[in-house]
Amino acid sequence: MSSPDCPITDLVSRCIQARTITQSQYQELTALVLADGTVDESERKQVNRLFDAIQVGRVRILD
């Protein structure tokens, strides 16, 4: 379960603060989310938080 000190929450927060996400951060996020074979509600909220920020232009995807 994701908590404020969870690696997923930390990564999402770093990306939102930096206003960018790199390919390596994307791969890290994918690995963290899929690590236990399930996506719980709090993990889903963090991923949606990042995707929402990307969609509205607050976070840019770097090549």
pLDDT digits (tens, 9 = 90+) for 25-58: 999 999 998 998 888 899 999 999 999 999 999 9
Nearest of 34, 28, 41 to residue 1 by alpha carbon: 41
Q: How many CA atoms lie within 13 A of 7 on its CB side?
A: 10
pLDDT of residue 37: 87
- Higher confidence at residue 14 or residue 4? 14
pLDDT of residue 6: 87
Q: How many CA atoms lie within 13 A of 15 on its CB side?
A: 30
pLDDT of residue 10: 95
